Amino acid sequence: PGPGAPGGLFAWLRGRCLGRGAAVDPARDTFGAMTGLYGAIQPADSVSLSTRTHGAVFNLEYSPDGSVLTVACEQTEVLLFDPISSKHIKTLSEAHEDCVNNIRFLDNRLFATCSDDTTIALWDLRKLNTKVCTLHGHTSWVKNIEYDTNTRLLVTSGFDGNVIIWDTNRCTEDGCPHKKFFHTRFLMRMRLTPDCSKMLISTSSGYLLILHDLDLNKSLEVGSYPILRARRTTSSSDITSSGSSGPRAVGSPCHQNNSGPLSEKTLSRPSQREGGSPRNSLEVLTPEVPGERDRGNCITSLQLHPKGWATLLRCSSNTDDQEWTCVYEFQEGAPVRPVSPRCSLRLTHCIEEANVGRGYIKELCFSPDGRMISSPHGFGIRLLGFDAHCSELVDCLPREASPLREIRSLYSHKDVVLTTKFSPTHCQIASGCLSGRVSLYQPKF
């Protein structure tokens, strides 16, 4: 409808801005140029960076200003590259005593690494010969690091099921004050939304936990938090009755298990959503996954839209014969009915992935503006969009779940790609594979 539609010009303008927040992003209408640049990327233009004997590449992370690319390696090492010149800067040869799983920048010079040796290490780019400090608190492999820039609290999660908060404001050479914030069984990945108002936790048993109105200063024990909603996204049944065949072990491996993340006694509490949500209200979902056929699934990778509009999941079936990339829109607001409240997530887009590299987790990501997804696909990566024009998610929300559109496929590896990342500042994409090679993709003029 145009300006002449019922309601007049102001109603039309309001409709155009609906869902985009308080202000319209001025870059949204000029993204055609960036789409053209990504479309010009060719496999032959990639720069292969050999990591020699450092083992598989488990994770990639750019510094916020895009000046440094860090590589988390299987064989205890962290590599640093200049992504602009494609030159190797530094190797942290004994960053940890076991696999390095994840890297997170706190600012342009400080970054944290976590490992299967159960520790987290803080590093300063200005003095890489030694760690700033080593953090001890987890009792099993540490897989994920998040950072709240408002409170300067570091948040980590591991296969011990614990989410731990670290006070970097009082960090010393001996470590940082820390406390256990949350615990759940079969924890896989943990993420904070960009505004740190929610925490999302995925599990190897196919459940997704969401803590709403997040307050990191309050520790949570099992049973002490209000249950907001507990249900499957595709039906009104309670999560305790949803079918799941139990997950399987996956590489960079998960733990095997036979039940859901929380006890049936805990989940049987009535919803406390009515009258407004208290802080740290817990929602437990079983996300709809296409082709699941009631066989259960494992949520191996979890990412958040950079504007907080959606969550991105990589799911593997328990029978290990299918993998899916799925996008779920956040639906805010009060429930429709207290007895059968709607979920806060809705499946909007999905695509089936190449079923190769079984047993290894593939980490995917959003582009900095959220218009594209880079996903490991066999021996390469796929660039995916919500439509063929790489439109904003809010501009092309379908009534029913629709396929993600493949914008481009890039293949330059000779082994299974495990991780991929967009540069936050340049038209560049990085990918890392099982045999330890890093590739950079960028337009060539």
Question: DSSP labels for 75-110?
Answer: SS-EEEEETTTTEEEEEETTS-SS-EEEEEESSSSE
pLDDT at 366 over 80: yes
One DSSP character per residue, 361-377 reads: --B-EE-TTSSEEEEEE
172-212 confidence digits (pLDDT tens): 777 788 999 999 999 999 999 999 999 999 998 889 999 98
In the chain, the amino acid numbered 223 is G
Higher pLDDT, 134 or 290: 134
Give the Å distances, CA to CA, from 352 to 192, 240, 317, 413, 426: 26, 28, 11, 21, 29
296: left (phi over 0), alpha (psi -120 to 50) or beta: left
Of 211, 224, 186, nearest in space to 282 by CA: 211
The pLDDT of residue 175: 75
Please, where are the H alpha helices in 240-319? 264-267
Residue 441 pLDDT > 70: yes
Alpha helices in 105-250 (DSSP H): none
pLDDT classification of 303: cutoffs 50, 70, 90: very high
pLDDT at 322: 81
Domain ranges of the chain: 48-183, 292-444
Select the more confidently predicted residue: 222 or 345: 345
Question: Of the given ranges (33-42, 249-258, 427-436), which has the lowest mean pLDDT?
Answer: 249-258
- pLDDT band for 7, please (50, 70, 90 cuts): low
Residue 114 confidence (pLDDT): 96
Q: What confidence score (pLDDT) does residue 230 get?
A: 47
- Intrachain domains 48-183 and 292-444 with the same fold: yes
pLDDT higher at 54 or 256: 54
What pLDDT score was predicted for residue 291?
Answer: 66
Q: Count H helices, E strands: the chain?
A: 3, 30
Query: Residue 118 contacts by C-beta under 8 Å, 6 or more apart in sequence?
Result: 136, 138, 139, 140, 141, 142, 158
What is the signed CA dihedral for 75, 325, 63, 194, rounded to 10 degrees? -130
For residue 36, pLDDT beyond 60: yes
Comparing 175 with 441, which gets the higher pLDDT? 441
| Secondary structure letter of residue 214 according to DSSP | -
pLDDT (tens digit per residue) in 77-115: 999 999 988 888 899 988 999 999 999 999 999 999 999
Residue 78 confidence (pLDDT): 94
Identify the three-state secondary structure at position 16: helix
> Quick one: average pLDDT of 46-66?
81
Average pLDDT over residues 46-53: 62
Q: By C-alpha distance, which of 380, 384, 353 is closest to 370?
A: 384
Measured distance CA(372)–CA(41) in Å, rounded: 14
The number of CA neighbours under 13 Å toward the Cβ of 186 is 25
User: Alpha-carbon distance 62 to 68, whole Å?
Assistant: 6
pLDDT band, very low/low/confident/very high, at 21 (cuts 50, 70, 90)? very low
48-183: which CATH number, 2.130.10.10, 2.40.50.140, 3.40.640.10, 3.90.226.10? Answer: 2.130.10.10
State the average pLDDT for the chain. Answer: 79
What's residue 54's pLDDT? 82
Residue 253 reports pLDDT greater than 50: no
Residue 168 CA: distances (Å) to CA of 3, 83, 126, 190: 52, 28, 18, 19
Q: Give me the pLDDT at residue 398, please.
A: 92
Indicate the pLDDT class of residue 405, thresholds 50, 70 and 90: very high
- Give the DSSP letter of residue 346: E
Q: In the prediction, which pLDDT does 65 show?
A: 92
SS3 state of residue 44: helix
Rg (C-alpha) for the chain, rounded Å, is 21
**pLDDT at site 198:** 93
Number of C-beta neighbours around residue 18 at 10 A? 8
pLDDT at 206: 87
Does residue 2 sit in helix, strand or coil? Answer: coil
Q: Which helix (H) or strand (E) holds 286?
A: strand 281-286
Contact criterion met (CB below 8 Å) for 113 and 72: yes
pLDDT above 90 covers a percentage of the chain that reads: 47
Structure tokens at 353: 């992935």
Which CATH number is 292-444's, of 3.40.190.10, 1.10.10.10, 2.130.10.10, 1.10.1240.10? Answer: 2.130.10.10
- HEC profile of 179-204: EEEEECCCEEEEEECCCCCCEEEEEC
pLDDT per position as a tens digit, 336-362: 444 334 468 999 999 999 888 888 899
pLDDT higher than threshold 60 for residue 232: no
Tell me the mean pLDDT in the region 6-13.
59
Assign 417 to helix, strand or coil.
strand
Q: Which residues contact 43 (CB under 8 A, 6 or more apart)?
A: 380, 410, 411, 412, 441
Q: Is the pTM of this model over 0.85?
A: no
Residue 434 CB neighbours (<10 A): 20
